[in-house]
Amino acid sequence: MTIRWGLVGVGDIANKRVAAAIQSDPNSELVAVCRRSEPQLDQFADQFGVPHRFTNADDLIASPNLDAVYIATPVDCHCPQTIAAARAGKHVLVEKPMALNPAECDQMISACDQAGVSLGVAYYRRFYPVVLRIQQLIEAKQLGRILSIGCVTGNPNRFPADDWRVIRTRGGGGPLMDIGSHRLDVFLQLLGDVATVKASVIDSPDYEAEQAATLLVQFNSGAHGILQCYFGTVETPDRLEIIGTEGRITVEDLNHGDLMLSTSEGQQLESHPPADNLHAPLISDFSAAVLEHRSPTISGPVGKRTNDLIRLAYEDAQ
């Protein structure tokens, strides 16, 4: 059996990676796509050879010949479209951040539970070989007791004030929601759950959302997490550093996967590059989970935890 996918929202990320990832997965088939703009919909469907096209998400979701819906629309659409898909009996894989706020995440989880369908969230960095290698090194106590994890990330785009990414009711916030969310998810994967969140933001002179956010989180283990995220800077690589009592790991760019391990014995460079299509392992995991009747690796409750931390950060910053 293959999973027949409908893809709602065929903009930037669908075009760059999601459609190709579905089409390259042996358990998946891309059978339907949706966006409201008809000429752009046709262009996308023609480019990827997708047989069914819809200008209304409800119509795609109601279509009987689908097993799963991939939601790649702006964040304010994630909750209503997930609930509609669940009620129509479709499994749902939703882009990050999962929703505008934790209350929406709860509604999505509960709708999918009630309908008996799977819910996954697209935090694909969880499948990066370099992240899995770091997890292994931490678990093997190669770094001793972990004291801190730090990440700096920036998107150079200068978003206009009417872009959904910088309107709070559409994107949920600014760089913290859009790019910080990915890194907080990696923090949770590597160091476990968080007890407290402190945050400060810098407002943008040009739009409603923040332009910069700096977070200091304290994990249940006692370790610190420091996250800095920006919009409108020069391109900032996806840098990660973990400091322990016996060692340090530095990754200059998670998307390249070179890892430097420093211990008292010296330095060791390892290379763990990600998949060519970063979404491919995510789609494969989700479709296999549906076929094997297991939970996807990045389930609704996993995705929601990042929304919880972001909410605490915005509350503290206020």
Ligand X SMILES: O=C1CO[C@H](CO)[C@@H](O)[C@@H]1O
96 binds ligand NDP (CB under 6 A): yes
Alpha helices, DSSP H only, in the chain?
Answer: 12-13, 19-24, 38-48, 57-62, 75-87, 102-115, 129-139, 168-171, 175, 181-191, 280-291, 300-317
Contact between 178 and ligand X (CB under 6 A)? yes
Q: Which stretch binds ligand NDP (CB under 6 A): 24-32, 69-77, 83-91, 248-256?
A: 69-77
Whether the Cβ atoms of residue 311 and residue 215 lie closer than 8 Å to each other: no
Task: Tell me how far, at minimum, the Cβ of 70 lies from ligand NDP, in Å.
Answer: 10
Phi and psi at residue 146, to the nearest 5°: -75, 130
Query: Which does residue 141 bind out of ligand NDP, ligand X, none, counting CB within 5 to 8 angstroms by kind?
Result: none
203 near ligand NDP, rule: CB under 6 A: no
CB atoms within 10 A of CB 234: 7
Backbone angles phi, psi at 208, to 5 degrees: -70, -40
Contact 247, 146 (CB under 8 A): no
Among 17, 78, 91, 182, binds ligand X (CB under 6 A): 182
Q: How far is CA 111 from CA 74, 94, 115, 299, in A?
A: 20, 14, 6, 14
Stretch of 139-147, 175-183, 242-250, 310-318 contacting ligand X, by CB under 6 A: 175-183
Among 5, 6, 9, 212, binds ligand NDP (CB under 6 A): 9
Minimum CB–partner distance for residue 291 and ligand X (Å)? 27
Q: Which is nearer to ligand NDP, 73 or 153 (CB)?
A: 73
95 binds ligand NDP (CB under 6 A): yes
Q: Which does 238 bind (CB under 5 to 8 A by kind): ligand NDP, ligand X, none?
A: none
Instruction: Judge if the upstream peptide bond of residue 97 is cis by omega within 30 degrees of 0.
Output: yes
SS3 211: strand
> In this complex, which beta carbon is closest to ligand NDP, that of residue 100 or of residue 111?
100
From first CA to last CA, the distance across the chain in angstroms is 50
Least separation in angstroms between residue 170's CB and ligand NDP is: 9
Q: Map residues 130-149 to x or -, x wherever contact with ligand X holds by CB under 6 A.
A: --------------------
CB atoms within 10 A of CB 275: 16
Distance CA 149, CA 183 (A): 10
Binding segment for ligand NDP (CB under 6 A), chosen from 10-18, 145-153, 198-206, 251-259, is 10-18
Q: Residue 75: name its binding partner from ligand X, ligand NDP, none (Cβ under 5 to 8 Å by kind).
A: ligand NDP
Q: Site residues (CB under 6 A) for ligand X?
A: 155, 178-179, 182
Q: Site residues (CB under 6 A) for ligand NDP?
A: 8-14, 34-37, 40, 57, 72-75, 77, 95-96, 122, 178
